Amino acid sequence: MTTNESHTHPMDNIEVRPLRFNYENVMMQDPVWSHSNPLFSIYINALGIHVPYFERFLVMAFRDIKKEITDEKLQKDVKAIIGQEAHHGRNFIEFNKFLAKRYPEVTNLDLRAKGYFENKLSDKSDRRAHIGYIAGYETFTYLGGMIILDGYEKWMKDADPVIRSLWLWHQVEEVEHGAVAFDVYKHFYGKDEWYRKAMIVKSLAHIAYETWLAYVPMCKKEGYFSSPSKAVKAIGFYLSFSCKLAIKALPVFSKNYSPRLHQTDSFEQNKIAVGWRAEYTSGKEVDALSSEAVMQLSSKT
């Protein structure tokens, strides 16, 4: 990779990558896939259950309004986010089926999320509510991507290759299209700043609640509620990571906020993310990266 390529802002060229992940190859069929931090894997599994239905909601809502966007670059970005999110949704719905083998509660939580977003989509009375909610929600998928990629060694350096690769792909692409929903909202409702901020709070509350509903039974199944000390540790992790998301979002409430400027220096990208893009572009397989292969990615920048 050339110097110029490595310094390309990830939001400048959103690529749709139609990956599929084979959960039959997960080691020991164990959904607690991160040995670096087992509670992280439980938390992110719990958070991810309702995500594919939000992604389907985004795809359908943006398809409806795409033709009304007058900015050519934004039209291109919307087409790209639709492509990325469609592939995310397919993979994570299959991942939910994998999780349900260990956690029976996932089946009902999956149906709950499906119904919630289908009901939301069926209400066409307030388009601003759809676009605003998507912008608010995408704030946290983008920020979550930054947190997870920047904390790679702490969260998942030692982990199952398949599920780790699923989340690396997902987080890399969430950062890539992290400005699109914001740009769409500004395109249609740029003067309604108060509403954008209200949707940020609403979406965070929804993410936190849905994650908690899944996190508790998963932690129980894995024995974290078998003693007070383990329970405190599990609840502490939930609160800590949720607070990371909230604190990371504080700049979003600024009137002059832009996702492209969220990082202190937009060219100081995560090395693993840059290397991952280079690996995919070169035609290498990225659906089951070993720990060694992931660490080598940063050397490609």
The structure's pTM equals: 0.93
CA atoms within 13 A on the CB side of 103: 27
Query: For residue 270, what pLDDT band results from cuts at 50, 70 and 90?
Result: confident
Per-residue burial over 244-273, b if 16 or more Cβ lie within 10 Å, else e, is ebeebbeebeeeebebeebeeeeeebbbbb
Compute the Cα dihedral for 88, 173, 47, 119 and give only its sign. negative
Q: What is the pLDDT of residue 301?
A: 58
Asked if residue 248 lies in contact with residue 147, where contact means CB atoms within 8 angstroms, the answer is yes
Q: Which residues pair with 207 in a beta bridge?
A: none
Nearest CA to 47 among 198, 206, 258?
206
Q: What is the pLDDT of residue 300?
A: 62
Q: What is the pLDDT of residue 80?
A: 97
CB-based burial label for 104 (10 Å; 0-12, 13-18, 19+): exposed
How many whole angstroms separate alpha carbon 186 and alpha carbon 208?
25
Paired tokens of 13: 């060229």
Query: For residue 141, what pLDDT band results from cuts at 50, 70 and 90?
Result: very high
Q: What is the pLDDT of residue 125?
A: 85
CATH number of 31-260: 1.10.620
How many whole angstroms separate alpha carbon 178 and alpha carbon 135?
9
Asked if residue 158 lies in contact with residue 55, where contact means CB atoms within 8 angstroms, the answer is no
Domain extent listing, the chain: 31-260
How many whole angstroms separate alpha carbon 152 and alpha carbon 171?
11
Q: What's the mean per-residue pLDDT of the chain?
A: 92
Nearest CA to 102 among 46, 157, 158?
46
